[in-house]
Amino acid sequence: MEYAFGADEAGRGPALGSMFVAAVAVDAAAAIPAGVDDSKQLSRERREELAAELRGDDRVQASVVEIPTERIDAPESGMNELTVDAQARALDAVVEPGTAGIVDACHTDAERFARRVGDGVDADVEVCAEHGADETYPVVSAASVLAKVARDRHVDALAETYGDVGSGYPSDSTTREFIRSYVEEYGELPDCARESWGTCEDALAAAEQSALDQF
């Protein structure tokens, strides 16, 4: 089936910075540039090139929604709820009533995820969801690229403020060291940190324990 729109996210798992969700709607499948793929499989340079092509094509409608750390840390919202809401808001900006599209499922129950996203879109559209949709459907790959480019630029801005923060992911030793050293120096997490993430909680706990040991 040829889908008229797609959505995907970037930055769901990092300990630092915002998550970004992008939606793309196209008049024709030919509007998607050749070589588009899951953004994780592309170099940053190639993502930037593809994003420019997508933005410069009148047959492509695109929207990017940012979910900042304060919303991510809010106790009343989980990542699934935030992702559903952001996909619905991004899709609202680009979809046409009566069209069908597919989103990358960020929940184990893809059918339920699709239903919730569809319920959040104001227009009467059909929303499907699949795990790994960014690897299978070009329109979702395009959304993946735009979301990742937005996340890349966001991390660049964090680096301008704080110095090298790495990728922001807990698995990144540069990110972990940045969080540890910042807490050690200032006694608190930086504003860009997701306070509810284990990596950040652990850094605070380690600093508090160190202070107690020195008392």
Query: Is 45 labelled as part of a ligand binding site?
Result: no
Nearest in space to 28 (alpha carbons), one of 63, 64, 61, 52 = 61
β-pair type (126-130, 100-104) = parallel
Within 8 A by CB and 6+ apart from 203, the residues are 176, 179, 180, 183, 189
81 annotated ligand binder: no
- Show the tokens assigned to 12: 């769901």
> For the chain, what is the total number of helices (H) and then of strands (E)?
8, 5
- Quick one: how far is CA 1 from the chain centroid? 26
Go through 93-114 and write b for each residue having 16 or more CB atoms within 10 A of its CB, e for each that does not.
ebbeeebebbbbbbbeebeebb
Q: Is 191 annotated as a binding residue?
A: no
Annotated binding site for a divalent metal cation: 8-9, 104
Annotated binding site: 8-9, 104
